[in-house]
Structure 1
Amino acid sequence: MKKIYLILIIIASCVKVNAQQVDPLKENMSFDIDNLGDGKITMSMTYNASQWDNFQKIYGSNALNLLKRQMERSLPAYYLQDWDYKEDAANRTYTLSFQALGLAKIDDNGNWVIDLDQKKPDITKMSDRNYAMTTTYNSYGVLVQELIKINLPDGAGNVTQDKNAFGKAIFTYELSPAHKGSRWIFLSLAALLIAAGVVLYLKPDILAMGRHKVKPFTVVSSQAAPAIITPEPPANPNIEKQA
């Protein structure tokens, strides 16, 4: 989730209008976290007529590629995929959604952690697994109203709001045993793949060591060896004549 707020400020600055324009720029974001810690991020922005015209002039028909590039540069720690972009010209709104793998991390205690990258945010608890943050700020002369929703996975429990070593807000939560199984299966498969890679890497050395240690062997038959018969020398005819 880090740096994603900077992207929103950059987008807001692109639609800067006359200072007399007081209509706020409305931003809505949602983070839907699954049991593996991956998250679907959906962001939508609604403009007034002047802001929408500026947005179309700057982004135009290439809006998806430009927004995608901005997100990838600002979220290098995550693998982003499954991009989708839609426009609603009648309501002067666009919606961008994508998957961010590894949005939630596992700490040393086996709990899941989501970094909000904000200090002392205004968080409202909607339910045990649903939270909302609201912010109003001025970006390059544009008044921005921001609503961010965080939806934790089914089975999430012991949800707590805390802060990291840098004083920024974080969410920590646990998963119920039924949902922990998928996590341990994933980790076990990862461990097996790593072990298989190590074996394949060391296989030539292991085979070489085995060839050096194997000694030649002799096959011993269970049958007794036949007796060796020494032939007698032929009689000397000269000896018989002398006798």
Structure 2
Amino acid sequence: MSARQDFGTLLVDRREDRVVVELHRPEARNAINARMIAELHEVCAEIEADPRPLLLTGHGSVFAGGADIAELRERGREEAMAGINSRLFERLHRLPAPTVAAVDGWALGGGAELSYACDIRLATPTAVFAQPEPGLGIIAGAGACWRLRELVGASVAKQVLLGGFRLDAEAALRHGLVAEIVPAGELRASAHALLDRMAASSAPALRMTKLVLDADGAHPLADDMAQAVLFESADKHDRMTRFLERKKR
């Protein structure tokens, strides 16, 4: 276990087969500010250089209480065009290894969008996903307007984004936004168990699967190309050999 102390908004635990990141601004309900954005970019760079699955969670009984409103209030057109939050979330979404968000309590605004950028979400019974941005005079501009639609469908996305509805844990599970609801005391253990299952799979195969799943309109060519790379790998050959040998017994 290795935690960096020079991050001001994150606690980072680097392990051989995964990276665990805890959003850590307890004085502000883990609200996402510019420093957290910069530090999450650093984490993304590390994972891009050394691909490992990522577990993202929040400190205490809240995932992230949105973006830092004091900072948002001072942002203008140029900052909006720079996509400060959206560029990070897209980078997170495109990491070369699977990502899991473990959500306890509130995931509001940018906090919800941060979780949407992950591949899989687990939630506690108290988890709540909401997009209050229109009440603040802005849109949910860091991915919710299109990513949430992909995750739960247009009707539910409009209820959340236009109607101000909140998705509690049961609704999030019903609409497929989260994979599982687990007690708060078991959240991290359940997330690590999921990562353990991933670690048992071929890392190159998971990476190619994620690329193909996220490809835009490139099927079936993208499937064929990814499979062509994997079919030539020693890892694939060894895994299938072990499978066949077990089957013979």
For Structure 1 versus Structure 2, the TM-score category normalised by the shorter chain is: under 0.3
TM-score by length of 1: 0.24
Considering only CA atoms, is the larger Rg found in Structure 1 or Structure 2? 1
